[in-house]
Structure 1
Amino acid sequence: MNKVRSISNKQLPNKAQRHKLFGSVEPGPRTKPSEKSKMADLQNSKEDFLFDLDEVGIANVKHPITVASSLEPKSQTTIGTFEFSSSIDKSSKGTNMSRFTEQLQAFHQKGFVIDIKTLKIFTKDLAERLDQKDAEIKVSFPWFYERRGPQSDLPGMNHADITICVNYDQSAGYTVEASMSALITTLCPCSKEISEYSAHNQRGEVSINVSLIEDFDEESADWKAFLLEAAESNASARLHPVLKRPDEKMVTEQAYENPRFVEDLARLVAADLYEMPFVAKFQVKCRNEESIHMHDAIASITYDKSQQ
């Protein structure tokens, strides 16, 4: 047990003395310049540094962002986790890391709404700021959407995990990849078939990664809502933050009426993605956390529409 210490009138050294006691020392002589124009810039050194680098940048940068949505809430603030990078050729020693966060702050001050149009502008501006031929931004964030009980109509908040990656290349233009991970319910068809009384179900995760067509216009289609619908509508049932008894009856009966193997789920989601005109290629990964087994069940599909 920790002993309770009584209040005393112990006289402590002053703060400077305490710092000295624990290792602080007086500043030494200053011989190097403090003006930026006179400081050495090692990162901008030019020489043959042996290899080109595919990417150089910073990662795990957390920053507040605004997200627009076609679902309620139509505008929301959340936390984005960013990664910024560009390539550099072997004649450059490195990059100026501060320019990445300077760019982020500049967009934040103008109101940084995370949409593909804005991220395209961001990457092109970033490449110019870095004096490079390309730049890439990747941002991940939780996206919240309202979900109502199917019978009670009581609202609550669900969320899916979103990642957007935009790459700008001076010669090739833009490439845009977007991904979503959403949770759903599945009910085992085999269990339903062989059991006298019931069927076991599980919580599943649907992870979707898509490459969007070059001229995709986010104003004409909220890709987040489309991917969410592909994941949820093909499951046995959706998840709900608020369920009263009449809601629970409807959800469990719906799951029983729509049994899904993990293989079924992957194929059904893929079919919806195949029919989306703004999706150029996609990957679907499904994982069910089995309720009566020690293992998870997985299935995945990768498809490139240009190769059909």
Structure 2
Amino acid sequence: MSQINIRNKKLLPSKKERHKLFGSSDPGPRTKPIEKEQMVDLQNSKQDFLFNIDTVGISNVKHPIRIPSQLTPEIQTTIGTFTFGSSITQDSKGTNMSRFTQQLDEYHQEGFAIDLTTLKKFTKELAARLKQKDAEVEVNFPWFFERKGPASDLAGMNHADAFMKVSYHQETGHDIEVGLTATITTLCPCSKEISEYSAHNQRGNVSMSVKLTEDFNDQETDWKAALLEAAESNASARIHPVLKRPDEKMVTEQAYENPRFVEDVVRLVAADLYEYDFVESFKVTCRNEESIHLHDAIASLSYDKNDEGN
């Protein structure tokens, strides 16, 4: 005959009583207005507040976005991390934070495609909504692209971290900055030179920050693909999500034939960026995660075409 265990059930106070037990109290008297038109608007108050503010806004705003791409997949949905801002003058106490996310949601309802034409329109409208002369938006996002094995042709998805920053001022127009961090393989030239049998290699990250010319059209040229090519084509070898043995043989032999220091990488990438007509200025950084050291190797350089001849 089976035994039946009878458990004494704990008798709990009601949920309202439990909340009171842990510090909740009954609502007090309500004396302030509940209609927006009757509420005090501190942010829009005007007097001498001592200084102008360069930028005020909100950051770390995560939101779904659509990314157009000239590589497969041509349209993808990903997560963008936004920063919004504008300046305010000395006689203004603050900005209206809700207007940033209000405009973001309006664009989302229309299908927020992250391209430069859209972001230019976004910043100009945002400045008008904030009743300021300027506004800026920056969005960081992972960008995915298909990569096939060099021998097997088997495909998988790689990704790079990208950003777009568009600033608008009603007197000077738009400034556009974009960037990409791509992952590469590098093989040490010194190790190849001194070793009898092999050479150590490492995984590296190439980060590029680029100011685009005012007339750049991202409907014609995909800046993401262009920056990716500048990084990968100057590495020892490209990174692949799927590698069969014939692929691995080709990739490792290619790396051995193209040894690169971090100094080599930033100079070679810079040369490609310099030759892009749509690039006005740039900064390139390479960081290698050394395979036989505990430290990383780093190099960076900056160049502004506007300084030439000065």
> Which TM-score tier does this pair reach, normalised by the shorter chain?
over 0.9
Question: In structure 2, what residue type is equivalent to 1:262?
Answer: V
SS of alignment partner, residue 63 of structure 1: strand
Shift of 1:8: 4.0
Query: Structure 1 vs Structure 2: percent identity of aligned residues?
Result: 70
RMSD (Å) for aligned C-alpha atoms:
0.9
Shift of 1:294: 2.1
Number of matched pairs: 303
TM-score (norm 2): 0.97
> In structure 1, what is the Cα distance between the partners aligned to 2:202 and 2:101?
42
After superposition, the C-alpha distances for 1:193-245 in whole angstroms (9 at most, x for unaligned) are 11000000011110000000001111110000000000000000000111111
- Could you say which residue in structure 1 is the equivalent of 2:153? 153
- Could you say which residue in structure 2 is the equivalent of 1:268? 268
- Could you say which residue in structure 2 is the equivalent of 1:13? 13
- Could you say which residue in structure 1 is the equivalent of 2:67? 67
TM-aligned CA distance change 1:33 to 1:219, over 3 Å = same
SS of alignment partner, residue 219 of structure 1: coil
> In structure 1, what is the Cα distance between the partners aligned to 2:35 and 2:289?
59
SS of alignment partner, residue 247 of structure 1: helix
> In structure 1, what is the Cα distance between the partners aligned to 2:220 and 2:113?
17
TM-score (norm 1): 0.97
Extract unaligned runs of 5+ from structure 1.
1-5
Question: In structure 1, what residue type is equivalent to 2:122?
Answer: F
> In structure 2, what is the Cα distance between the partners aligned to 1:215 and 1:30?
56
- Could you say which residue in structure 1 is the equivalent of 2:3? none
Alignment of 1:135 with 2:145, yes or no, is no
- Could you say which residue in structure 1 is the equivalent of 2:189? 189
- Could you say which residue in structure 2 is the equivalent of 1:290? 290
SS of alignment partner, residue 246 of structure 1: helix
Question: In structure 2, what residue type is equivalent to 1:201?
Answer: N
SS of alignment partner, residue 64 of structure 1: strand
- Could you say which residue in structure 2 is the equivalent of 1:125? 125
> In structure 2, what is the Cα distance between the partners aligned to 1:212 and 1:204?
25
- Could you say which residue in structure 2 is the equivalent of 1:212? 212
Alignment of 1:258 with 2:258, yes or no, is yes
Shift of 1:20: 1.0
Shift of 1:165: 0.4
Question: In structure 2, what residue type is equivalent to 1:32?
Answer: K
Moved over 4 A (4+): none
TM-aligned CA distance change 1:31 to 1:73, over 3 Å = same
Question: In structure 2, what residue type is equivalent to 1:290?
Answer: E
Shift of 1:7: 5.5
Alignment of 1:175 with 2:175, yes or no, is yes
- Could you say which residue in structure 2 is the equivalent of 1:3? none
Alignment of 1:200 with 2:200, yes or no, is yes
> In structure 2, what is the Cα distance between the partners aligned to 1:86 and 1:50?
18
> In structure 1, what is the Cα distance between the partners aligned to 2:128 and 2:196?
67
TM-aligned CA distance change 1:154 to 1:43, over 3 Å = same
Alignment of 1:102 with 2:102, yes or no, is yes
